[in-house]
Amino acid sequence: MQFIDLTQQAKRIENDVRRRMDAVLEHGQFILGPEVRQLEQQLAERAGVAHCITCSSGTDALILALRALGIGPGDGVYVPAFTFVATASAVRLVGATPIFVDVEEDTFNVSARTLQEAFARQDTGATRGGSVVSGGHSRKPRPRAIIAVDLFGQPAPYPELERLARAHDLALLADAAQSLGATLDGLPVGRLAPISTTSFFPSKPLGCYGDGGAVFTNDGQLADWCRSIRVHGKGTDKYDCVRVGMNARLDTLQAAILLAKLEIFDEELESRRRIADGYRARLSGLPGITPQRIVSGASSAWAQFTLRSPRRDRLAEVLRENGVPSMVYYPKPLHLQVANEDLGQGVGSFPRAEALCQQVLSLPMHPYLTEQEQEQVCSVISKSAQ
């Protein structure tokens, strides 16, 4: 049994992928070729937004969005303490300072409540971690934005986050690297926040065969800035440089692969939902096993199926002994990562994020997981829970 099986999908779409890749080899437009535009159109349409700007990775998508929002040195950005490291690294790479926010222990996402906590910490100066060193003096960053993460595929509670962001004059960015295909109150990821980013890393719900990402927005100005920063800060002419930019394009070949994968994406999302429902039904009522809570109105893209257990390490061991792979996403919160030590947030700063790192376990999850495999996973868990 595999934790994430990419080979079955690869076999299923092989002919279509080869045909589309051959077409790229024929026309030879390897950079920003027609497939890139076609993909951007399809993704924008699916998300119900005016603009999709593809790029080289989910991390670069965050950097493009932050740059387009004008966030840089001296600025602070609220970031969950429990997420993949790239969410905070992107903030640091544009010269801004992450201000960590605890998450809800049941949904694993930030909320208006946990952000209010973070605002209070910031006001009382408890976030020494908020401080940046400039000219030998440390000063507090000026909060400019919130990045919410849709952890494991479940959208963060955007309506309440947006009200809070507006009241505090903060930009709201959705890191939807794990949630493309999810919805909240019937609205698709990509249009849940004023600007959203995603990743096409191979193991994400919509993955390519390498690195890739995208930014979604309805704001034409932000979209133009992202397109410019994506290609060396170009102005109207390619050789006219109006801002410091990057080389952050999605390869045409990767766009061609994604177009093939989009053909079966809805079906795969449906399979993920069916498998997640199966897990929830089979695991319900087991002592010490608590799956991620999905809020009403949300439909997850199920990048991961993750539960909490006070006996997590023992459970992982029993699963492994029985041939069932599992993963810990994530073993260490962002404020305790060595790279973020200089932000000065020690153990105990974000207790729910820290507890989750001790308790979470992700089970095998991909659209091709069979009933028998799922039965095997759940019977091992059920036996170990007795």
Give residues in contact with ligand PLP (CB under 6 A).
57-59, 83-84, 86-87, 149, 175, 177-178, 199, 201, 211, 213
Which of residues 102 and 374 has its CB atom nearest to ligand PLP in the complex?
A: 102
Q: Kindly calculate the radius of gyration of the chain based on its CA atoms and give it in whole angstroms.
A: 21
Instruction: Give the Cβ contact number of residue 339 at 10 Å.
Output: 11
Is the bond into 330 cis (omega within 30 degrees of 0)? yes
57 closest CA partner among 285, 260, 210, 237: 210
Instruction: Give the Cβ contact number of residue 263 at 10 Å.
Output: 10
Residue type, 126: A
Indicate the residue whose CB is closest to ligand PLP: 58
Cβ 238 to ligand PLP shortest distance, Å: 26
Which of residues 329 and 378 has its CB atom nearest to ligand PLP in the complex?
A: 329
- The answer to whether the CB of 254 falls within 8 A of the CB of 210 is yes
Sheet order of strands, 305-308 included: 290-291, 305-308, 360-363
Which of residues 57 and 340 has its CB atom nearest to ligand PLP in the complex?
A: 57
58 closest CA partner among 157, 179, 146, 232: 179
- The answer to whether the CB of 27 falls within 8 A of the CB of 37 is no
- The answer to whether the CB of 40 falls within 8 A of the CB of 223 is no
Which of residues 269 and 289 has its CB atom nearest to ligand PLP in the complex?
A: 269
Which of residues 215 and 378 has its CB atom nearest to ligand PLP in the complex?
A: 215
Which of residues 152 and 374 has its CB atom nearest to ligand PLP in the complex?
A: 152
Place of tokens 């990767």: 254
Cβ 200 to ligand PLP shortest distance, Å: 7
Cβ 216 to ligand PLP shortest distance, Å: 14
Cβ 192 to ligand PLP shortest distance, Å: 15
- The answer to whether the CB of 155 falls within 8 A of the CB of 188 is no
Which of residues 99 and 283 has its CB atom nearest to ligand PLP in the complex?
A: 99
Report how far apart the first and last C-alpha atoms of the chain are (Å, whole number). 24
State how far Cα 251 lies from the chain centre.
21
Bridge partners (DSSP) listed for residue 184:
187, 298
Cβ 91 to ligand PLP shortest distance, Å: 11
Which of residues 64 and 222 has its CB atom nearest to ligand PLP in the complex?
A: 64
Cβ 386 to ligand PLP shortest distance, Å: 34
- The answer to whether the CB of 56 falls within 8 A of the CB of 65 is no
Q: Dmax over Cα atoms in the chain, in whole Å?
A: 68
What is the spatial distance between Cα 175 and Cα 59, in angstroms, rounded to a whole number? Answer: 9
- The answer to whether the CB of 361 falls within 8 A of the CB of 341 is no
Which of residues 122 and 179 has its CB atom nearest to ligand PLP in the complex?
A: 179
Which of residues 59 and 309 has its CB atom nearest to ligand PLP in the complex?
A: 59
Cβ 134 to ligand PLP shortest distance, Å: 28
Cβ 110 to ligand PLP shortest distance, Å: 12
Write phi, then psi, for 56 (nearest 5 degrees). Answer: -80, -15
What is the spatial distance between Cα 92 and Cα 123, in angstroms, rounded to a whole number? Answer: 21
Here the tokens at position 167 are 């009241």
Size (the chain), residues: 386
